[in-house]
Amino acid sequence: MSRSPGDSEPPPEQENPPGFWQRWYWPTVSLAALLAFELTASPALSAILLCCHFGLDDWLTGVWLWRNDPHMGRGRACAWFSFARAVTRTLLAAFFLLLLLVIVAAQLARNQPRGPGNLPAGFWGVAILLIVGLPLGSLLSLIACFSARRHSVKVWLDPGLHAARRAHQWPVSIMGVHNLADMPYLLMISVLLMIVLTPMIIAVVSLFPQKGPRPAFDIALVGVILATSVAFLWLLLRWTHQARARLPYECWAHEPISALPPAFAQSPLRNPGADVHDRIDPLDFDD
């Protein structure tokens, strides 16, 4: 549509200045870790605070979705996945910090030939965080999948939700690049698989102790374990895979056109009855 000479150009969009929390986030986290160390003399507590701040953004977005999404079922399911992602990001930070502490401990032990050195300060705090966080993250992801099935929604999370929360903006602007709900979902699958397989392996080995080499028994045992793991994984994926959206429209199709990626806003996918062959390739949402 051509613009007449008298029409004025729309004013350029102005970015909102960073809010108080955006300006003071890192100084606040650093001060909290320093105060925790000074007041408690506990490096473990400081290490835990340092790891937890990596999941704070997702946690705040989850609370924001829970309170502000007009679609209650979608808000609940997306919030639970955001909480699970917050725990997952904390676990990743704890894992890399633990790996760094182990490397430091190995170097210190190499320089002490008289005996093994003590573990670095904060080691056990990070280890406990991992032990507690793995089942907690899996439980939150399982609750998220249950909530999505209960409310008949599919979840799509991306950085646009964080930007909308910081700007106090609704409807949200969906970027449509990657589904951030995939990371906690994969963590849940891995942990639940380990929880099922570990006691089964221990029980089988203790019930059938080996007396000399028995290749047939070993092959049968491996076959049983593999078959059980495949069956459990298939059932779990069958029950939970519908909780995650493959494309943004599956979660945010009812939002205004301005809130969606241009490739989707101009496509027949906004019509729920669109033919499946008309689907857009996910790479079209990279703009």
Q: What is the pLDDT of residues 24-45, one digit of tens each?
A: 555 565 555 555 554 455 677 7
Domain annotation covers residue 199: yes
CA atoms within 13 A on the CB side of 108: 12
Name, in order, each residue with C-beta under 8 angstroms of 233's C-beta and a sequence gap of 6 or more.
189, 193
Domain annotation covers residue 16: no
Expressed as residue numbers, the domain containing 95 is 28-260
Spatial separation of the C-alpha atoms in residues 217 and 52, rounded to whole Å: 46
Is the peptide bond between 171 and the residue preceding it cis, with omega within 30 degrees of 0? yes
pLDDT at 250: 83
Yes or no: say if 149 and 258 are a contact pair by the CB < 8 Å rule: no
Domain annotation covers residue 285: no
Length of the chain equals: 287
Domain annotation covers residue 177: yes
Yes or no: say if 232 and 199 are a contact pair by the CB < 8 Å rule: no
Choice among 19-28, 56-65, 111-120 with the minimum mean pLDDT: 19-28
Beta partners for residue 244, in sequence order:
155
Using one digit for the tens of pLDDT, what is the confidence trace for 95-110?
888 888 888 777 777 7
Tell me the torsion sign for CA atoms 137, 232, 237, 96: positive
SS3 116: coil
CA–centroid distance for 80 within its chain: 10
pLDDT at 142 over 70: yes
Domain annotation covers residue 140: yes
Domain annotation covers residue 119: yes
Spatial separation of the C-alpha atoms in residues 235 and 8, rounded to whole Å: 59
pLDDT at 19 over 60: no
Domain annotation covers residue 287: no
pLDDT at 272 over 50: no
Closest CA to 188 of 261, 81, 52: 81
Whole-prediction pTM = 0.69
Spatial separation of the C-alpha atoms in residues 197 and 119, rounded to whole Å: 31
Domain annotation covers residue 265: no
Give 119's DSSP letter: P
Number of domains in the chain: 1
